[in-house]
A and B are shown apart, each in its own frame.
Chain A
Amino acid sequence: MKIRTRLTFWYAAIMFISLLVMGGLMYRTFAPELYPMAARSATRLSEPDEGDLRETLRILLLCGVPSALLAVGGGWWLMRQAFLPLTDLTGAVEKIHAGNLGGRLPIGGNGDEIDRLAQVFNAMTARLDGSFQRIREFTLHASHELKTPLTILHGELEIELLSDSLSAKRREELCSQLDEIQRLAKIVDGLTLLTRVDAGQVELKIEPVRLDEIVRDVFADAQILARPSGLNLKLTECEGLNISGDRHRLRQLLLNLLDNAIKYNQPGGLVEMALRERTGVLAELTLKNTGPGIASAQIPRVFDRFYRGEESHCKAVDGCGLGLSIAQWIASAHNGSIQIESDPALTTLIVLLPLSSPASSK
């Protein structure tokens, strides 16, 4: 119950009690005057007269109740006025989240308690905004700064590999180092992309896109990716659907998801993909895989950066740990979403993307 409603109830109750007290007092005061005989007899006072009672009730009903109703109505309005700035404030606060800490609450300017609250809140948001900004800049700088030493390491190793006098063992060691440097470079790349996304620096090239064509294309790539692990890949349905989107990013989204479905699967398992229309306004891509399943408590976390499942077998899978975070960004940048349903035998990913309006699709 809102404070406003609660206070109004209390106020109404007080009004009602006042009314009763007023009635009682009135009865005591007026009764002797209306019936002079009664004033002289103490016994008469203690035994209320039917007529006195009715008269008092009549006055109360005719005068007291309307006044009380007016008072309660006024009270409700007063509460509303008192809490209106708070309601506005709540609306404004709701609009502020980690992504737009730049927003500030409006300040009424009459120096009341609410203004004070808004000022304090604004100051807090400003501090938070500053901290977030510094973290973003730090990550962005860090990923840039890491590139120079990585370039140097890679280049110098390559120069060393050019030499003909290397032993096979030494050559193998150097190559293994090159592999690791490239893995680092991939992580730095993914990190740079996500940091730039956070800073609002990545723009999509939106154009009309045939989603089914991209799905078929990426599916063909995935079939090749799945071959070494002997997985059974199926594309059960692929409706012709038009959406507005960034061709490259959509490919990246599908490829990341399929790559995950292939990596986190069991030997000889199944990956099943289907694209169909849902409710006329959405494209629904479902991706089922017979991976080990994700505990429901972990589902929201799989999109976190560098999050790997608890299971030890996941550690052995090669990857930069950013694929799903990137996929989720791409889906939401297209006003879509990714949902995960999982039981121990089957994990289903559902990607929803808005279809382009019929006028623009044809």
Chain B
Amino acid sequence: MRVLVVEDERKTASFVRKALQSEGFAVDLCANGEDALATATTVVFDALVLDIMLPGRDGLSVLRQLRAAGNAIPVLLLSARGEVDERVQGLNLGADDYLPKPFVLAELVARVRALVRRGGETKPPVLRVADLALDTVTRQARRGERLFDLTAREFRLLEFLMRSPSRICSRLAIIEKVWDYDFDPGTNLVDVYVMRLREKIDADFPVKLLHTVRGVGYVIREPA
């Protein structure tokens, strides 16, 4: 898997590369829009991580040019501005995802991974992590013989976490996907919901599945 990262800020580019490499991606870097456009049109990449604010040609312009030329490479936009209009503009131009700075690195990696495998996997109706099973049709969660009574929100939260087992889900991603907010409400809503969900699915069992990754987010995973 080969990813092109277009970011003019040297340090940011460097740790994004490190993080993606540690996940097994081959990473190329570009520091400005012109180079990015030239590289992306000559080399085939599996995904493009594109900062909007770049010297010279900006990220949105690069994206517009690529799409105009019929290039369908999955694009994740990064922006320090984090404005709703910019996000909408980016998605309208054909970006596949958008991440405002400052972002959680684990989340960037998770999103790039999602872009790369996009469409490649079917969604099974029953999600399983260890002995925990979530039926997305009947909306029932069970662990062994024990059935859990979940509220609609708890169900969505658990489904979201179980769709990417062993991958860290950041608070922002959860807020976006489970609450449909396009802003961070600035409360510890997610933490409290996760805590409640954990009381239901983990409290009475010796093997814990739902874990907090401090400063980053939450993950559901089988015990090692």
Contact = CB atoms under 8 A, between A and B. Distances in A.
A156 B215 contact: no
Interface in A237-258: 248, 251-252, 255-256
Q: Is the interface of B mostly helix, strand, loop or mixed?
A: loop
Contact of A159 (B15, B102, B103, B184): B15
B26 interface: no
Contacts of B83: 196, 201
Interface stretch (B16-24, B31-39, B42-50, B112-120): B16-24
A227 interface: yes
A49 interface: no
Nearest to B53: A144
Nearest to A153: B102
B201 to A, nearest CB: 16
A179 B101 contact: no
A158 B187 contact: no
Contacts of B206: none
A155 B193 CA distance: 26
B106 interface: yes
A152 B189 CA distance: 26
Contact of B184 (A144, A150, A186, A227): A186
B214 interface: yes
Contacts of B192: 224-225, 227-228
Given A152-B9, A159-B15, A228-B192, A248 B102 contact: no
A158 to B, nearest CB: 4
Given A148-B101, A154-B104, A179-B214, A248 B183 contact: yes
B81 interface: yes
A64 interface: no
Contacts of B16: 155
Q: Which size class do A's interface residues fall under?
A: 35 or more
Interface residues of B, number: 37
B11 interface: yes
B166 to A, nearest CB: 15
B9 A255 contact: no
Nearest to A192: B82
A147 interface: yes
Interface in B173-224: 181-189, 192-193, 195-196, 214-216
Given A224-B192, A259-B187, A155 B216 contact: no
Interface of A: 144, 147-148, 150-159, 161-162, 174-175, 177-179, 181-182, 185-186, 189-190, 192-193, 196, 201, 203, 220-221, 224-225, 227-228, 248, 251-252, 255-256, 259, 318-320, 322-323
Question: Which 6 A-B residue pairs are closest in the complex by CB-CB distance?
Answer: A178-B215, A151-B102, A150-B102, A155-B15, A175-B214, A158-B105
Interface of B: 9, 11-12, 15-16, 18-19, 22, 80-83, 85, 101-106, 151, 153, 181-189, 192-193, 195-196, 214-216
10 contacts: A147-B80, A155-B19, A158-B15, A162-B19, A174-B215, A189-B82, A196-B83, A221-B189, A248-B181, A248-B182
